[in-house]
Amino acid sequence: MKQALAELMRMSRICRMVFATCLGSFILVIFYFQSMFQPVMRRNPFVVDGCCRKGSRNALQELYNPTQPELSGAAVLHQARRDQVVDACRVYSASSRKRRVLTPGDLKHLVVDEDHELIYCYVPKVACTNWKRVMMVLTGRGKYSDPMEIPSNEAHVPSNLKTLNQYSIAEINHRLKNYLKFLFVREPFERLVSAYRNKFTLKYNSSFHKRFGTRIVRRYRKNATQEALLNGADVKFKEFAEYLVDPATQRDGPLNEHWQTVYQLCHPCHIHYDMVGKYETLEEDANYVLRLVGVGESLRFPSYAKSTRTTDAMTAQFFSNISTQQQIQLYQLYKLDFLMFNYSIPSYLRLD
């Protein structure tokens, strides 16, 4: 009798698991069909889809059918950037056997502004602190007026901004269809070196030293001192590169967001981004977004300290300290970001 009861309970658990799997598959199918068709379609700028506030144009309409003459030239540039993403995704899809579909859990980097019908996918080390500040101004309904008055740590408090994964499936699909979706990208290796410098060479980032530095030192440094094993505060870029390309790191789970690829953070082959801004033209592209929203006269994107930014020359110096094999492996890891966002292979890279 006890054996029969145990068997019955086991079958019940299996049934619940099957049900959960089927429900999850249903959610995935919704995103799958959206991702199949949206990236290769250009929006009809004359179709409103019922998304707009009565008596006004939203940012999406202004992007695809600008009424301001000064925005027309930029519209051509951003169409070219969208086409580049679509072409790269099509090539990748044709060459890959993997079928990746999204769930709400993949959408935690997409910040939503209901008032201005915007969705911003934030990418760490691409001015995301200032963009979060701007989004707090836009969504604050008068609480904030100057982005730079918002402390940087407050900009990263999750409860201060709403992300797309917090909505229902129907609400997610509605916003993906009707809101202007944008992201900002950066030359992949400059972004990578910037993340390394910020997280492993500054004393105040002890949490990263403990969480990642100790693991990296333990795995890749011969004859490490007890202090290095305990604190992980002096990770070398060569050790960081070895950590990134090690298959064991991939088995540990997704990379940390600061060095994860844009492809994995924002899913541009599944989500049709209306605008791709670039770090290299940050202020110009950011203020273009604000003009599309209609707040360009009252809100400007904050300037940044160019003297402290990671440059191409600085990146080349860091890459000169790693092996050719590591350079090739790192390029393969970030190759899609290079291709999708039209970044050339760096001249300092040794790929042969």
> What's the rounded Cα separation, in Å, for the pair 66 and 73?
10
pLDDT tens for 310-347 read: 999 999 999 999 999 999 999 999 999 999 999 999 99
pLDDT tens for 190-203 read: 999 999 999 999 98
pLDDT tens for 262-289 read: 999 999 999 999 999 999 999 999 999 9
> Which tokens go with 181?
């979706």
pLDDT tens for 11-61 read: 555 555 545 444 444 444 344 334 433 433 344 332 333 333 434 678 898
pLDDT (0 to 100) of residue 83: 97
Handedness of CA 163, 166, 171, 173 (dihedral sign): positive
| Helical segments of 116-272, H only | 128-139, 152-155, 169-178, 188-200, 206-208, 214-220, 226-231, 237-245, 247-252, 262-266
> Which tokens go with 26?
């249903």
pLDDT (0 to 100) of residue 24: 47
pLDDT (0 to 100) of residue 344: 97
> What's the rounded Cα separation, in Å, for the pair 217 and 85?
37
- pTM above threshold 0.75: yes
* % of the chain surpassing 90 pLDDT: 68
Mean per-residue pLDDT over the chain, rounded: 85
Q: Residue 301: name the closest of 161, 140, 115, 134 by CA.
A: 134
Give the SS3 label for residue 261: coil
| DSSP result, 107-148 | GTTEEEETTTTEEEE--TTSSHHHHHHHHHHHHTTTS-S-GG
Cβ neighbours of residue 284 closer than 8 Å, sequence gap 6 or more:
none
Cβ neighbours of residue 341 closer than 8 Å, sequence gap 6 or more:
81, 84, 85, 185, 262, 276, 278
